[in-house]
Each structure stands twice: as structure tokens, then as C-alpha cells.
Structure 1
Amino acid sequence: MYDLPYHKAPNEQAIKELIEKYPFAFLAGCDPANKPVATQVPLFLEERDGRKFLTGHLMKNTDHHKAFQHNNQVLAVFTGNHTYVSGAWYSDPHTASTWNYMSVHARGAIRFLDGAALEEMLRKTSMHFENNDPDSPTVYDNLPKSFLDKVMKAIVAFEIEVTEMDNVFKLSQDRDEKSYHNIIGKLKNQGEDGKVIATEMEKQAKNLYPGK
């Protein structure tokens, strides 16, 4: 990954917040022929006894399910808003343009779970994304048994014990103060991605330029 010491999250809480805000992760691994496989699934970050776990569910008998059964080493990538940053916005504009973005890479071993864990995972997932509304017709406990009996056979819950977690919060931290604040001003006039990145940059400004 793009790994420079000044392009990092300011603290662990920022990493957790990104995962919670953008849970639809890119989950990748390799099959028996060393062919890359991937899927996108919502994941939850949990901590137990000082260890980090990612939990979720996926469809059985797909290429990625079969690959993960063969090789339990996986990579989950969470990515947030991102935006183009023009070199013309720097105090010295005669330089290359770039891209600002936030991303978390979590590596670990995947383990598939039993039926009881699948029920709990579907209950947790449906309640979370239905804004904890117990009356929603689509939350797990309100679905017809006939429907659940059918779909439960086709999916499986899993957990990933995270062994390594890296991040890139590339937010122009290597720029001079004038350029940094000018980038923020330009991004505020862009679309949603630009505005979100500008807000993240503002959060870091006081640490990058203390006393200013």
C-alpha cells in the first residue's frame, strides 16, 4: 500500500470511525491456483480480550468462499471519500497533481462459523442498517420462517482475526501551510467528496501547524 509516515490517521479512533462509516469492504484472497478473488461485503469491527475481529457473512459456493476455505489469509480494504487535488492549488503550482483519500487495510485469518452465529450475524446486520428499528419488516426476527429456511442454507457467517492493520489518510500533510489551507478552500467548493476531505483536513490542521 501507499505507506508514508506523514500520511497516516491521527489516532486509532479515526481508523475505527472510518470503518464504522464505510463498512462495505473489499475482501480479497487467493484460490488454490493463486488466482486473486474478491467480493464486497459489510463488515463490523469488534474487540475481544485485546484482539481485533472483523465479522460478516457471505454466499456459499462462490469463487471467493471456496478460495477462503482453501486459504484463510485475507485482506479487507475499507475506503472513504476521495478527491482530486490540483497542483495548481499549491503555493508552487509547477508540480504534479495528486489524489487525497482515506483507506484502511486489515489482514488476517478468516474462520467460518456455525448456524447460531449466522443467525446472530443476520440479526445484528439487519438491525444496524435498519437504524435499530425492531418494527422494520426486513430485520431478521420479522422475516418469515419459510424465507429464512431457504436463504440460510446459501450463506455463512465468518470472522477474521486481524493480525495487521495499516492505514493511509492522504490529506496533503506534506504541504506547506499556505498550500494546505488553499487546498481546503478549493475542496469546499467541490462536490460531496471534496467537502468531506476538506473537513478531514481541517481536523488535522491544528496538529500540523500548531500555534498558527
Structure 2
Amino acid sequence: MYKSSKFEEKDAQKVGAFMQAHPFITLIGFDGICPVATQVPVQVYQDEQGLRIVGHVMKKTDHHEAYARNENVLALFTGAHAYVSASVYENPAVASTWNYSSVQAKGKIRLMDEAETREVIKQLTNSYEDPATSKAAFHRMTDDYIEKNLKAISGFEIRVEHLANVFKLSQNHTETNRKQIIENLEQHGDADAQQVALEMKKRL
């Protein structure tokens, strides 16, 4: 991970909030020969047991086999990113760059049994579907359907042992440059540029 004290978020609550806001992660492991990765939705818990990341993966895949073989994994949380053109700087004759936000969580993964996996799916589904009103709520699925699908997946829990982050939002630039970068990003139509501009405004 790119490390610079200028771009490191020291507030643990803000880092935790970022992880909660970006729960579709890249989960990376190692099978003994090559890195393996998959994109999965997760839930993040902070309690007396520490920081935990919970989700599920498909069985009989390269990543599932790697996680079973090697418990050491990396969970990558990513946010909005945007190209920053040096053309808007006070001195534009320098390199352009890229602004982005990212959190890396390293820890040990534990694959779950069927009963635990069922609870993971229930909690995840009910966090996005209103159990009281949604036709897709967990309790509306038949037991046969749930049991059939549970055989193909495994829940997991990662106990986080190390967190690192980069919130690179032009903190190393003058206020004038930062304001001009924000104005330039706001003129772009894509959502990422707009979000990066918003995050930069919070830090002015």
C-alpha cells in the first residue's frame, strides 16, 4: 500500500465509517503459488471481540480453496477515485495524479459451517431487504431453496489484525490548488469525480 502521513486518516471512527459505507470488497488470499481474489459483499462489526468482517463465498472455487489452505487474507475496501489534472494547478507544469480512498484490512479468515453460514445469509439479506415488507426477505424463502443453496457456499469471518488506509485527497497542495481541483472535478459528470470533490471539501 502507498504510504504517506499526509494521506493517512488518523481518526479510527472515520476509517470504520468508510468500511461500513463500502461493503463490497475485494478479498485476497494466497493458494501457495499465486494470489487469488474475489469480490464479495460483507458486514463489518466492531465489538468486544475486536473488528470482524463477515461474508460468504462460493465453494469449489480457487479462492475458497486458498482460504481453506491459508488463513491469512487481505480485505480491500475501495471508495470513489478520480483523475486530477495538473492543468488546474497554480503551476501546471508538473505531473498530474489520481485521488482515491482505500482501506486494507489484514487478518485471519475462518470458514463457517452450514448453520453459521445460514445466519450470515440471513443477516446480510435482512440488512438490504426490509423483513417486514420485502417480498425478497429471508423468511420468505422456502427451506428447500435455502438448504439447496447453502450447500454451495461457505460463510466466513475475518478477525482483523492490522488496518492501513490511504485517503489521498490533495492534502499536500495549497488551498488555492485544492479549490481549483474541486471546481474542476465538480464539472465532470461521473459520480466518482463528484464524490471525490465532496470528500475534498470536507477537508478544506
TM-score (norm 1): 0.92
* Alpha-carbon shift at residue 10 of structure 1 (Å): 5.3
Q: Residue 133 of structure 2 aligns with which residue?
A: 135
Of 79-88 and 184-193, the range deviating more from structure 2: 184-193
Instruction: Please list, as runs of the form range in 1=range in 2, the aligned pairs for 1:69-88 lying within 5 A after superposition.
Output: 69-88=68-87
CA distance in 2, matches of 1:134, 1:75: 35
Instruction: Please list, as runs of the form range in 1=range in 2, the aligned pairs for 1:8-27 lying within 5 A after superposition.
Output: 8-9=8-9, 11-27=11-27
* Alpha-carbon shift at residue 35 of structure 1 (Å): 1.1
What amino acid is the match of 2:163?
A: M
CA distance in 1, matches of 2:158, 2:185: 36
Q: Residue 110 of structure 2 aligns with which residue?
A: 111
Point out where structure 2 has 5 or more consecutive residues left out of the alignment. none
* Alpha-carbon shift at residue 14 of structure 1 (Å): 2.0
Q: Is the 2:107–2:159 contact (alpha carbons within 8 Å) kept by the matching residues of 1?
A: yes
Q: Is the 1:127–1:134 contact (alpha carbons within 8 Å) kept by the matching residues of 2?
A: no
Q: Residue 144 of structure 1 aligns with which residue?
A: 142
What amino acid is the match of 2:103?
A: V
CA distance in 2, matches of 1:18, 1:78: 8
CA distance in 1, matches of 2:193, 2:17: 19
Per-residue CA shift, 1:24-57, capped at 9, x if unaligned?
A: 100011103x211110101111112151110111
* Alpha-carbon shift at residue 115 of structure 1 (Å): 2.2
Identify the match of residue 169 of structure 1 among 161, 167, 170: 167
Q: CA RMSD in A?
A: 1.3
CA distance in 1, matches of 2:170, 2:197: 10
CA distance in 1, matches of 2:166, 2:105: 12
Q: Residue 176 of structure 2 aligns with which residue?
A: 178
Give the SS at the match of 2:7: coil
Query: Judging changes above 3 Å, is the alpha-carbon distance between structure 1 residues 50 and 113 closer, same or farther for their aligned structure 2 residues?
Result: closer
What amino acid is the match of 1:129?
A: Y
CA distance in 1, matches of 2:7, 2:137: 39
Q: Residue 126 of structure 1 aligns with which residue?
A: 125
CA distance in 2, matches of 1:59, 1:137: 25
* Alpha-carbon shift at residue 133 of structure 1 (Å): 4.0
CA distance in 1, matches of 2:46, 2:115: 20
CA distance in 1, matches of 2:111, 2:12: 27
Q: Residue 64 of structure 2 aligns with which residue?
A: 65
Query: Judging changes above 3 Å, is the alpha-carbon distance between structure 1 residues 70 and 115 closer, same or farther for their aligned structure 2 residues?
Result: same
Q: Residue 156 of structure 1 aligns with which residue?
A: 154
What amino acid is the match of 1:179?
A: N
Q: Residue 6 of structure 1 aligns with which residue?
A: 6
Q: Is the 1:81–1:193 contact (alpha carbons within 8 Å) kept by the matching residues of 2?
A: yes
Overall identity of the aligned pairs, in %: 38
